[in-house]
Amino acid sequence: MTAPYRLLLVAACALIDDWKRILIAQRPKGKKLEGLWEFPGGKLEPGESPEQTLVRELDEELAIQIDPSNLTALTFASYHYPEFHLLMPLFVCRHWRGVPNPLENQAIAWVSISDLLRPDSAYPMPPADTPLIPALRDFLET
């Protein structure tokens, strides 16, 4: 029997622009997994749904406003880190108000799905995010 682990619930969002580019953010220095690129989002607060978390987090991190009805659940990641087990639904969003502006000292980039699929990608992602990319590719190809 394995030891119990802490379950961490995090919601992530692939913001997709009119050119099918995806917005990713780089984890800032001093944070765990610093320098890696990820889909914006964050931890669920007590009583929040994943959609409510994304509305709050995208406003706090990127100064954009999202209507929850514009979020579409795409897939999820289930990944065991040494300290916790991460469960992360990934939503896609094509409509928001405002221009993404990084407010938490992170770099952001608009990238193509092919940028993320390259083995030598200039945008390395945490191990929990990597399995989300094929589902996002399939979504963008439809």
What share of the chain has pLDDT > 70, as a percent?
98
pLDDT at 134 over 50: yes
Supply 122's token pair.
């200039």
pLDDT at 5 over 90: no
What is the mean pLDDT of the segment spanning 104-112? 93
Q: What is the pLDDT of residue 1?
A: 44
If you search the block for the tokens 């990934």, which residue do you land on? 90
Bridge partners of 8, per DSSP, are 86
What is the mean pLDDT of the segment spanning 89-114? 96
- Structural domains of the chain sorted by starting position, each given as residue range(s) with its CATH number in brackets: 6-141 (3.90.79.10)
Q: Strand 22-26 relative to strand 108-111: parallel, antiparallel, unpaired?
A: antiparallel
Helix/strand/coil for 30: coil
pLDDT digits (tens, 9 = 90+) for 55-86: 999 999 999 999 999 999 999 999 999 989 99
DSSP string across 34-100 = TT-EE-SEEEPPTT--HHHHHHHHHHHHH--B--GGGEEEEEEEEEE-SSEEEEEEEEEE---BS--
Query: Helical H runs in the chain?
Result: 50-62, 113-117, 133-141
pLDDT at 2 over 70: no
pLDDT digits (tens, 9 = 90+) for 31-53: 888 899 999 999 999 999 999 99
**Which residues, 6 or more positions from 93, have their beta carbon under 8 angstroms from its beta carbon?**
13, 14, 15, 16, 54, 66, 70, 71, 72
pLDDT at 114 over 50: yes
pLDDT at 109 over 80: yes
